Structure 1
Amino acid sequence: VKTEGEKSYFKLKPQVPGPPRKLVIRIENSKELLDTTLLKDAGAELEIPSLEFTIGSERRRHIDSIYNQIINAYENLEMHTQLLGEDSEEKAKITNVVTNLKALLDVERPFDLIIHDPRGLSEFNPSEKVRIEAPDEDR
């Protein structure tokens, strides 16, 4: 990261696919949500096991703070619930997930965030707290 005045510039490394892997980071406070950047590869999935919640793969890579990754999911789900009928069982379930995602942003207790990265192209910055593990057999 290079900063000039109020502008920040990021220099991205060339993408060279690696072996499949799982990146695990333990979030212990809200500052870590804001200060940790995630480069999530297009084929990677973000999982929050404590909520049984997964953000699936996308068509392009996504670079943002962990906080913004979670808030984007929260906002997308909240918009989706508005399209569902008032008495929908699906709406009630999604509303519960939305509530839990919003509460997660306060980091009242530590939680794990997992990136399932089949091409080995995702990364966290800073990466000191990240554990790299073998991918799950069922993914």
Structure 2
Amino acid sequence: MNALVCVLPHACAGVCSHQEVARLVEHLQLLWEGYCTDGEGNSNGCEWLPVEQIGNMMCQELGYEDEPEFEDAMKGSFSDFLDKLPYVVKQEKNGRPYFQIKPELPRSQWRATKMTLKINSTADLWRTCYKSPHATVEIPELEFEFSADGKRHTDSIYNHIGSAVYNLGAHYVQQANSGLSDDHKDKIMDTVIALNAFLDVPVPWTWVVHDPSGMSEFKPMDAHVEVEYLEPAAAAAAAAAELAAAGDAAAAEPAAAEPTAAAAAEPAAAGEAAAAEEQQEGQQQQPPEAAP
């Protein structure tokens, strides 16, 4: 337990900031959905919201005393805060800044992606990582994974880890008097200590995002982020499917033509049979030739 007491204060600053960022992001999403969707996630025709007015609304609705307190929570202006969110797009219209939140891609447009960032110094920990609802994050050096939980998570890598340290530590405390084996508890504690140590970057380590949807992003998304596409783009897959379908249709055409030819032959055969019958009947009805 003493080790946990030493570890948690180091992570608390990060997790408190993480919780505040999560609250801001969640409220921003609610405002966007309230103004720009029909309640079921579909656009209602509103494509852009004014930065200044939405910032003022968030300041008031989230209970901040004034704008300086609001900006202190965001570590900058509301406009700067939006710039840190990879799925937010900003644009100036008539000299005023507006923003929009990019919608989730439909499954038909998903492109499985693996993104790798090497953490070489503490400065790398302040890069923003947007983890989509479908993504997992792996730290292979620790054999540790952040699972996919169906929610968007946007924060610095430092705060992602700080939150994991805090949550695992809280879980350890809750399970202190439970039936969990000492070995299991020790593994939890070892993971907490190792994650906390990685916040100081004693040696380079790796942050790997696995996303079947391809929607996760870093900000900045620069050459330090290694991106690997694990399957072809949806458009290429769709084009290949169309070509395959066209080939199947072409192959089926001769087979379809044969029954048509056979069907056309049936009336002709029937006509010939009818003509033969008429000729035979005519021969039977002719009067016998007169005897000389």
Question: Is the counterpart of residue 29 in structure 1 residue 118 in structure 2?
Answer: no
User: How many Å separate the matches in 2 of 1:127 and 1:112?
Assistant: 16
**Structure 1 unaligned residues grouped into runs of 5+:** none
Question: Is the counterpart of residue 91 in structure 1 residue 193 in structure 2?
Answer: no
SS of match in other structure, 1:25: strand
Q: AA paired with 1:72? A: S
Q: AA paired with 2:228? A: E
Q: Cα distance, 1:14 vs. partner?
A: 3.4
Structure with bigger helix share is: 2
Question: Is the counterpart of residue 46 in structure 1 residue 140 in structure 2?
Answer: no
User: How many Å separate the matches in 2 of 1:65 and 1:105?
Assistant: 12
TM-score (norm 2): 0.43
Match of 2:227 among 127, 132, 135: 132
Q: AA paired with 2:186? A: A
Q: Cα RMSD over matched residues? A: 2.2
**Does structure 1 retain, via aligned residues, the 8 Å contact 2:111–2:229?**
no
Q: Cα distance, 1:28 vs. partner?
A: 0.7
| Aligned residue in 1 for 2:203 | 109
Question: Is the counterpart of residue 20 in structure 1 residue 112 in structure 2?
Answer: yes
User: How many Å separate the matches in 2 of 1:40 and 1:96?
Assistant: 25
Matched pairs, number: 134
| Aligned residue in 2 for 1:8 | 78
Q: AA paired with 1:73? A: A
Q: Cα distance, 1:15 vs. partner?
A: 3.2
Q: Cα distance, 1:108 vs. partner?
A: 1.1
SS of match in other structure, 1:54: strand
Same amino acid, percent of matched pairs: 35
SS of match in other structure, 1:43: coil
Segments of 4+ moved more than 6 angstroms: 2-5
TM-score (norm 1): 0.87
Q: Write out per-residue CA displacement over residues 58-83 of structure 1, whole angstroms, 9 at most, x where no aligned residue.
A: 12110000000000011010001112
Question: Relative CO higher for 1 or 2, CA cutoff 8 Å, sep ≥ 6?
Answer: 1
Structure with bigger strand share is: 1
Q: Cα distance, 1:123 vs. partner?
A: 0.3
SS of match in other structure, 1:50: coil
Q: Cα distance, 1:127 vs. partner?
A: 1.5
